[in-house]
Amino acid sequence: MNALQQKFSDAGTGITVYPGVIDGTTLHQIVMSVNNGVGPTDDELRNAKVPVVSSEWMIVNFQLDDMQTASNDPAQIAAMDQFKKDLIVFQNRVYLEGKVLYKILPIRTCDLPAGQTAADGLIDVLQRVPGGGYLMGLSYAPDKSHMGADCRTPDQATQDAYVNAIVTPIVASYNAVNQQVNDCKTHPENRPARDCIGITPNTP
């Protein structure tokens, strides 16, 4: 996560990476600390006055408590079910706060058959949770030759590719949004009207 934060800082962005990792236990504690774990209602989400342009971009590295046990293990299945429930509440709260959420996908490991690793299970959960953010990271499983003797330890080339797959598109989006806001404030006539809804032009 430090490498990610440094990359965003080097790119001159104000993007903040959530420190550390949010595992299943931590996620559940965060969710339960507010309103006894009850998330926003459908009406609250529908009627939310969220900003056109978010003031904060959250980049979060989620993990299961156990990132080694197979995803088809009964205890792991139960853990992933709870993780999904908590993540829905977490995402909905982030939405009401007007923040953009980027969820980092784990690097797929090869210590178990494809589709059965803990990383595969977590990726499946992150992909299936409705709405509420963007998924960032490698969309493919690295070749075994890049994953160490234990098939769980990515080499430097894989780590670099992983970080770049996260940073490059987010920085591009960040810069595009900043350009949109600047244009709408200074020369709104140069943008389609829909781009500037909710953005107040500068007073001459």
The pLDDT of residue 67: 97
pTM above threshold 0.85: yes
Please give the chain's pLDDT, 204 residues, in tens.
Answer: 778 888 888 877 778 788 889 999 999 999 999 999 999 999 999 998 887 778 788 899 999 999 999 999 999 999 999 999 999 999 999 999 988 899 999 999 999 999 999 999 999 999 999 876 799 999 899 999 999 999 999 999 999 999 999 999 999 998 999 899 999 999 999 999 888 888 889 876
Pairing of the two strands 56-61 and 134-136: unpaired
The residue with tokens 């980049």 is: 59
Q: In what order do the strands lie in the sheet with 16-17?
A: 16-17, 56-61, 99-104, 134-136
The pLDDT of residue 132: 65
The pLDDT of residue 158: 97
* CB environment 177-200: b (16+ within 10 A), e (fewer): eeebeebbeeebeeeeeeebeebe
Burial class of residue 172 (count of CB atoms within 10 Å of its CB; 0-12, 13-18, 19+): exposed
The pLDDT of residue 126: 95
The pLDDT of residue 30: 97
Check if the beta carbon of residue 125 is closer than 8 Å to that of residue 77. Answer: no
